[in-house]
């Protein structure tokens, strides 16, 4: 008997490649665990173009580019979509006005989960812009504590290397883990928000021994709730 398909879902990948692969594999595994057949479409974004537009603050240009990719997914049959990366969030407002598909927002999913878990005081691990803008100002009602400038440099440097290599060394893991423990104790945090999709190559449910919220996995759970609401597992 053929497995039931979920709602056709589109993924903008390539930002970076490793994160797209992680989302694809994790979504497929989530479907199989529910006895479902994935109905996934993917389109590849040019990460160099996206980073250049983001660095230049050209939000509308970036939104139009991403809107074009979403249009490709719509033409392929996708009914709903997502962009699994933090940098494009600088054009979230502009993209919302032109997207041809409903979007399952990465930041929306994280913000909702922070509220659900009653995390009132957090720090972010991720790219420099994500940390310094306190996740693009999208965590209203939550106290976001900035690490010191030196600590931000350390986190951003490690994260940039992980994005580039799609892997993390034992040294990378230990430095971020130790820093997480230091911040939680020093700043009296409720937890660390892993606000970088490629941090999935550093931390997983089996090796993360500090209070945290994994942004990528939270986002994937939100995707599954949207495309297969009647089968979401507790």
Which tens digits make up the pLDDT trace of 194-229?
Answer: 999 999 999 999 999 999 999 999 999 999 999 987
Does 2 score more than 60 pLDDT? no
**Count of CB atoms within 10 A of residue 36's CB?**
18
**Count of CB atoms within 10 A of residue 117's CB?**
14
* pLDDT at res. 55: 86
Helix axes 215-227, 106-116, angle to 10 degrees: 100
Is residue 45 within 8 Å of 76, Cβ to Cβ? no
Token pair listed for 151 = 């600590």
Is residue 9 within 8 Å of 78, Cβ to Cβ? yes
Please report which confidence band the pLDDT of residue 59 belongs to, taking 50, 70 and 90 as the band edges: very high
CA-CA distance, 63 to 92, in Å (whole number)? 8
Does 233 score more than 60 pLDDT? no
Please report which confidence band the pLDDT of residue 4 belongs to, taking 50, 70 and 90 as the band edges: confident
Token pair listed for 28 = 């497929």
Fold (CATH) for 4-105+218-231: Rossmann fold (3.40.50)
Q: How far does CA 199 lie from the centroid of its chain? A: 9
* pLDDT at res. 82: 96
- Listed by start position, the domains of the chain span 4-105+218-231, 107-215
Does 234 score more than 80 pLDDT? no
Kindly report the CATH class assigned to 107-215.
alpha beta
Does 230 score more than 90 pLDDT? no
Is residue 199 within 8 Å of 216, Cβ to Cβ? yes
The yes-or-no answer to whether 4-105+218-231 and 107-215 have a common fold is yes
Mean pLDDT for the chain overall: 92
């Amino acid at each position: 008997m053929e497995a039931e398909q979920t709602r056709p879902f589109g993924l903008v990948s390539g930002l970076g490649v490793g994160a797209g692969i992680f989302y694809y594999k994790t979504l497929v595994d989530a479907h199989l665990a529910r006895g479902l057949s994935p109905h996934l479409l993917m389109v590849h974004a040019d990460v160099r173009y996206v980073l250049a537009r983001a660095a230049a603050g050209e939000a509308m240009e970036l939104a139009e580019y991403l809107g074009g990719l979403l249009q490709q997914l719509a033409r392929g049959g996708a009914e709903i979509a997502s962009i699994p990366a933090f940098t494009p969030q600088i054009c979230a407002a502009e993209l919302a006005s032109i997207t041809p598909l409903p979007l399952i927002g990465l930041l929306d999913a994280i913000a909702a989960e922070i509220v659900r878990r009653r995390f009132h005081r957090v720090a972010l691990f991720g790219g420099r812009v994500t940390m310094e803008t306190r996740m693009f100002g999208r965590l209203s009602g939550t106290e976001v504590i900035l690490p010191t400038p030196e600590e931000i440099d350390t986190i951003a440097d490690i994260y940039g290397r992980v994005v580039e290599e799609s892997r993390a060394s034992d040294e990378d893991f230990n430095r971020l883990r130790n820093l997480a423990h230091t911040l939680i104790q020093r700043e009296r945090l409720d937890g660390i928000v892993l606000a970088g999709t490629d941090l999935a190559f550093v931390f997983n449910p089996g090796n993360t021994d500090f209070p945290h919220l994994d942004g990528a996995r939270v986002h994937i759970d939100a995707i599954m709730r949207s495309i297969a609401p009647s089968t979401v597992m507790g």
